[in-house]
Amino acid sequence: MMKKTSLLVIAMMMAGCGTEINIESDSEPTAEDAAAFVAAVETDLTEKSVFEAQVEWVNANFITEDTDAIVAKVSADMTALRVKYAGEAKKYNDLELNPVLRRKLESIKLGINIPAPGNAVDNKNLAQINASLSSLYSTGKGPDGRTLGELSRVMATSRNPEELLAAWTGWRTISPAMKDKYAGMVAIANKGASELGYPDVGYMWRSKYDMPADDFQAEADRLWGQVKPLYDALQCHVRAKLNDQYGDDVVAKDGAIPAHLLGNMWAQTWGNVYDLVGPESSAEGYDLTAQLKAAGYDEKQMVKSGENFFTSLGFDPLPDTFWSRSLITKPRDREVVCHASAWSMDSQDDIRIKMCTEMTAEDFETVHHELGHNFYQRAYKHQSYFHQGGANGGFHEAIGDTITLSITPDYLKQVGLIDEIPGADGDTGLLLTRALDAVAFLPFGLLMDKWRWQVFSGELTPETYNEGWWALREKYQGIKAPVARDGNAFDPGAKYHIPNNVSYTRYFIARILQYQFHKAACDLAGYNGPLHRCTIYGNKAAGAKFRAMLEMGASQPWPDALEAFTGTRQMDGSAVLEYYAPLKVWLDEQNKDRSCGW
């Protein structure tokens, strides 16, 4: 997850520290007025956004009632000014403007993730609700006092269905208290979106992809249609193997899979059940978690390895301040937001990560992912304020994920983490291991925002929030709740990105783009073998082209950035299918006598 300072200003708390922008005028606006307005806003935000990031950083690293109150106050003040800027930006909608200026004006309007209405009461209430929702999640514990980390370890390791169910239901006791607050947030945010000229917040989110909102929804569905056959084959095989393990009373041979059996609190990735579903005659050939520990790695060295990958491609090393200011391990003395994130504090060189790193193969990949955000942020630091971002949200998430595809046996041997590269007979196991996370994630990545689009549009009401959630999970994932859930449960709130209002479609797009980027990088590196065995570690030619795309930031529409690196202007799921082609053959063989679908 990338944490970039939002485009908001703390006018009241920093009075006198910046330029007062007078944007009222009785005359008809001109192109010159629009340019002056954008320049003034950009200067103001460039100067003041640092304090916003510092307040958010302190709150995320020292969760108390006081820091919650401070961040709520700052958020309210920033949102008020941002809403003012967005409202003024509408004045220039009908002018003929050059594409760069028009893009920046749209950034002013669309940069508000959860827009507050113009009145102070709603603005303050929205900020307080959002701070409360975030705190409820971050400080949540099960009825027995176990934290999310502790409950997640049960989900990952236990093979006792009753124990798994207790952990699954235990974490979901944190979210019923969020439901009414969330509904209040939806109502206020939709008022804000309406004032900016959008039907609702979901429509506004879908408008951020350089195409009409309805076209973007169709594009997401098109991409899902490309990769769905691979997911369907994976779901069928996993369901059959879970049935072998637990029996018909726990998981049937047909229909949806109970959500507590897949090794993850949200059933969004399934890698932790590999031992139950993996091929008998094909092994990975190594245990990366064990290899990291045997090699004497600690959490900081894991992050150093991620840095080393990027420098091998020609990127500059991370600044010294990254190491002195990042949070890499969980403190023992206080509550922090452990959800991994990457931060750009000053839109220049003060970049950081914040995560409670553990010595696991999963977190080895996570640090590569988070550093992808940081190296992207640093690559576009020369761009003007409104162009300091990913070409679209999916780009930012895909950069680090692209690098994780190069964490192959060849790469691990080059950096001394394994002694021998396993033969091709281990490829099925390696591909299944990755598919249980990356392919299994695809429908979850799509449905998270589909649920919110329905909530913001009013298709789902507070009374049907939970019903709609499980309807989408069954439709797209073939997953169901393991026990009956009533309308008060608010199970969506048990996932970080819902109470924290983090848009999720970008993660789905990133899963498509990372394979498309990986294929393009491997082609640039002159690689001719199976796509899943390619690593671009140390390849300066691929790195130079990759860096050139990152340096573009958001200065051009995303099809331009995509074309600059891949040669095509359309997102395409075919690289996903190519990468997993050997696995699909194996899955089809396993499923030949099974009844697939749900």
Q: Catalytic positions, please?
A: 370, 497
Other CB atoms within 10 Å distance of the CB of residue 30: 12
- Three-state SS for 3? strand
Task: Say how far apart CA 359 and CA 105 lie, in whole Å.
Answer: 44
DSSP letter (8 states) at residue 565:
H
CA distances from 199 to 76, 84, 190 (A): 23, 19, 8
Alpha-carbon radius of gyration of the chain: 24
**3-state secondary structure string across 520-577:** HHHHHCCCCCCHHHCCCCCCHHHHHHHHHHHHHCCCCCHHHHHHHHHCCCCCCCHHHH
CA distance to 116, 383, 402, 451, per residue, from 388 (Å): 23, 6, 20, 29
Other Cβ atoms within 10 Å of 200 Cβ, number: 18
The whole-angstrom separation of Cα 373 and Cα 343 is: 8
Q: Which two tokens stand for residue 562?
A: 């995509």
Q: 216 φ, ψ to 5°?
A: -65, -40
d(CA 393, CA 403): 17
Query: Which residues is 341 bridged to in the sheet?
Result: 354
Contacts of residue 81, Cβ cutoff 8 Å, sequence gap at least 6: 8, 9, 10, 11
| Through-space distance between the first and last CA atoms of the chain, rounded to whole angstroms | 32
> Taking the CA of residue 42 as centre, how many other CA atoms within 13 Å lie in the half-sphere pointing to its CB?
18
